[in-house]
Every structure is written in C-alpha cells, then in structure tokens.
Structure 1
C-alpha cells in the first residue's frame, strides 16, 4: 500500500517522466496510451494556432485532405436498374439509387483505404525500422501528423462542409472519421514500434548499428498482434466513414 502511494505521488510530481514510461513501455497498451496523450497534446496546440492565427481553408487542396487516388466514383453505376424497386420488410427502395449510393461508397472506401495504407507502409512500417535512442522514427511522423491534423481542423480545411457551417464545426467532422484515422495510426505505430533494423544512440551520432534484418518480415505476438489487427480494422472503418461523407456531399462526382 505504501509503495502504491509513493508511485502515485511520483506520477503527480513528475508527469513527464510518467508519460515517458508509457511511451517506452514494453507493454503495447501502455505505449498506445502514451502515444495518444502526446498526440492529443500536439493536436490541441496546433488546433488553437490554426483556429486563432491561420486563415480559414489554409490547407485545402493539399495531400493533408486530398487523396492520392482521388475520390471520384462512377456516375451511372445504377443506371441499368432504373425504375426498379425492391422491398425489404416494410420499406421499399429504388434499386438504382441504392446501387449507385452504396456502390460508390464501397469504391471510394477502397481508394481511401489504399491511400492510408500507402502512408502507413512508408511513414509507419518503414520508419519504424529505424530508431534514434529510444525513439522509433515513425513516432516523429505521428507527432507531425497530429500537428498537421490540428491545423487542418483548426482552419476548417476539410473538403466537406463543417457542422453548422462554422470553423468550430470542423471538430465534428474530425470526430466522424479523422479521429479514427489518427487512432488507427496510433495502434499501428505502437504495435510495430520494435521493428527496428538500424538504430543510433542520438540524432548527432552518424554511426548506425544493425538490430535485425531489413528484408525479414517481423513477427507479431500476443497483444502486439491484436493491436496491429485492430489498427488495420480501424483504418478500414475510418475509410468507410469518410467515404460516406464523400458520397453524401456528392464529392465523388466532382
């Protein structure tokens, strides 16, 4: 009991030390918590700067909001089923409209998911092969991504109208899909943080030591494997959530 009280007192007295213990913990769930806290702090600071200092829409038409493969859908996907309906229980649906809406939603979901997957492959999986001190390089990208996302939300730079058509309403848009992208990046980062190939003792140290083989696919065990799988699932769900917004606002026809 006394030891527990001392640990709690230490956490309150040295919050940064406690946060560092979470970030560099061997337990993947503690790493996730540490990354989330750090990312949230950077996001909040960037959002404040974006909202009060930067101009509205400052990051529109950039890869921070646009997608590598675009979000264009198929305009006549359900044209061959015009004037047809089907009944599901008591509800009647226009077949062409349903096929057009959900067909384009699935198509755009695939494009968005591949966009994020390419980012994950390079900026998380590849960068996690390098470590400076105790920091995997992908952690620096994650913090940068948190900052840039804060700027995007703070400046209302999404392609979709903000909730209530105000800059503050962009936070609601972020909660609808951006939060889950950010969370999936966190899970994938934490689960692969030990995929080190080369490591250096410090940023100024030019000598790198091998810690593993580059071409071997690192294996995941236990909790790391579970977190990795959940990260991919959240990435897919977030892609679907954004695709629903794309189709709802007709962005797939632009």
Structure 2
C-alpha cells in the first residue's frame, strides 16, 4: 500500500486545548473545527477543507507521569497488529496496544528501541487526497533526534521501507541522514546531542516566511529555542515551544 511508511496524521496532546487552538491558528493560519467524536473532545486543525492535525487533552496517565505536552506523528502501515509485533521484536515498545477508532481506523502508540514516541495507523476509509507537502500549513519535514543513528536508521528502514537519501556531515553533531519514502525525501535523522535527555520526533510546519511567524510565536506566548537557521536548499527553519510547552518547528522558503 502506498501509505505504508508515510506520515499520515499529527496530533497535539496538551494541557489547555482552547489556548493551544488560539496559538496555532494565529501562528500557522490553521482553521479549527470540532471532530464530532463521541465521548472525547477532539479538535481538527485544517488548511481549507483539508484536515492536517488533531488537538486533544493529554490523557490522565501522561499527566501523572509528568509527560509534557507534545506533538505525536502517525505513520501509515498496511497492518497495525503486524507492525506493532515487529516493533516489539526489534527492541521497541508498544505503549498502547492496537485499538480501533470507530469509523476512522486502527492505531497503536509505540517507541523505537531508544524511546522516541510515534504512532502507527491504518485508516478504514479512503486515503486523504495527495497534496503538495510544501504547501503552507502542512507538515513539510519530519526529524528524529535519535538515541543512535547507526541503529535507529535500520530499525525504521526495516519497519517502513525508508531509504537513505543524502547524508550531511554536521561536524561535531555527526551525520544528518535524510531519508526518503517512495523516492521522495520526507525527513532527516541524527544522533541527538548528549545534553538532550531523550530522543524525540520533531515536525516542521510550513509557513510562507519565518521572521513574521517568529513575531506571531512571541506575541502568542511561545518561546524560540533554536534561532532562525538557513538549511540546504535555501529554506529557513526555527524551533519553538508553544505556551503549554510542546516543542514544534516551522519551515519557510524565506526569512
């Protein structure tokens, strides 16, 4: 299936849904609508008619474990149960066993062998329309600060069929390995710096221009954690914390 190994959904789990909705609407330009799911308050972030991401309150268990608000990415798979078993067999962990979302699909929440969290998903309906991954408001890049690049890459490659694209030598930071799905680059991975406590996935939301977006982040109570930086290909990136403490990133074609 074409969606196996493709990021298909993103979700922000936060402590204040209303405040997070306002912040991202202002910063990214998303529209928001209630998903109409029974028994749970779930907001959809949309670009026009296209749903891009979900917003929900953090589950009780996560709050008790002092897990901070965070973005979670969902990778499409052909069979959630088979992939979950494969993840466990390869040294990862299944934190939420495969479960059904009525009328939507089946999912599981997992970590790779080093502890980076992600979800796997198979939808029940038609796949969403193919859109330009660099369009404003969509997620244009997926980045793993891994526990160890040399073992993380084979884990994901075997699981999702990701292939190595260009590898960039970042000096003391080591190699930044771009990876591709279906021949198209979709993200990068590197070994995390020692001072970073745990590995994590980071998602880059497309915006038209970085400097204007930074002003919106600051005005909305967010905090810049990595100042604007030009990346190969001429785009600009910035990394930030939203007011509730979730890490996110923006990418734009110009400052």
Question: TM-score band, normalised by the shorter chain?
Answer: under 0.3
TM-score when normalising by structure 1: 0.23
**Structure having the higher Rg:** 1
TM-score when normalising by structure 2: 0.23
| Larger proportion of strand | 2
| Larger proportion of helix | 1
